[in-house]
Amino acid sequence: MIDKSINKCYCIPMQSTELVLDSKKRKEAAILDAACAVIREKGLHQARIVDIARKAGTSYGLVYHYFGSKANLFDAISNEWWNSLYTMIDAGAKTAAPVNEKLAAIINYFFDLYETRPNLVHIFVTDISRSTNNLTPERLNCFKRFFDRIERIIVGGQSEGTIRSDIRARYLTYIFVGSLEGFLSTMVLENQPIKGPEQKQRIANGLLEVFFNGARNVDRR
């Protein structure tokens, strides 16, 4: 007599698979948050996997299982930063919003993140943006892709006549990004917290006012 049970298909329910994936994402997110906290406290090169695991409330082996090495963990932090930023800019680029609103959204993104995830922003400033030792060719390309997106917004402003066109769009891009990162870096390095939505609005208004006073199209007649 043939045992038909050997032909049974044992399938994992889709709901169970989704729960496993959700659990994995939560654990990875907890490890990344812990890594940001430890790196901010100790510095990238002094931070140890065992410290990160302890901070995340998980095992040393699980951190290695998910990320493989501290270098991979740092790349995951960097990729989280850039991918979220690109997604936000690309979504805004698809809208018909004027250039000042698109630039304001970028400013607000940086300072919203500084308010909600200060450790991540601290790492961006100290270990990604301002550290030549950590600037690999791939990480440099991340900056270039960021500049390219901002430049396209600036070019759009020049095309619609909002931004003067006698200054190269790339130069205006450097001016905008430089002022934004410079302001943010000062707050991070001086450990100044965001004090609410009113302050964020004043910062955005101030940066845009300074930028557009020099970049606004001027009637020379």
Q: All domains of the chain, ordered by start, with CATH?
A: 12-68 (1.10.10.60), 71-221 (1.10.357.10)
pLDDT (mean) for 149-164: 94
Dihedrals phi, psi of 31, to nearest 5 degrees = -65, -40
Q: Are 35 and 47 in contact (CB under 8 A)?
A: yes
pLDDT, position 2: 45
Q: Are 10 and 36 in contact (CB under 8 A)?
A: no
CA-nearest of 80, 30, 75 to 56 is 30
pLDDT, position 44: 87
| pLDDT band, very low/low/confident/very high, at 9 (cuts 50, 70, 90) | very low
Residues 175-184 have pLDDT tens digits of: 999 999 999 9
Residues 15-40 have pLDDT tens digits of: 556 555 567 788 999 999 999 999 99
Answer whether 0.95 is exceeded by the pTM. no
| pLDDT band, very low/low/confident/very high, at 218 (cuts 50, 70, 90) | low
| pLDDT band, very low/low/confident/very high, at 140 (cuts 50, 70, 90) | confident
Share of the chain above pLDDT 90, in %: 63
Alpha carbon 6 to its chain's center: 51
pLDDT, position 127: 85
Q: Are 119 and 43 in contact (CB under 8 A)?
A: no
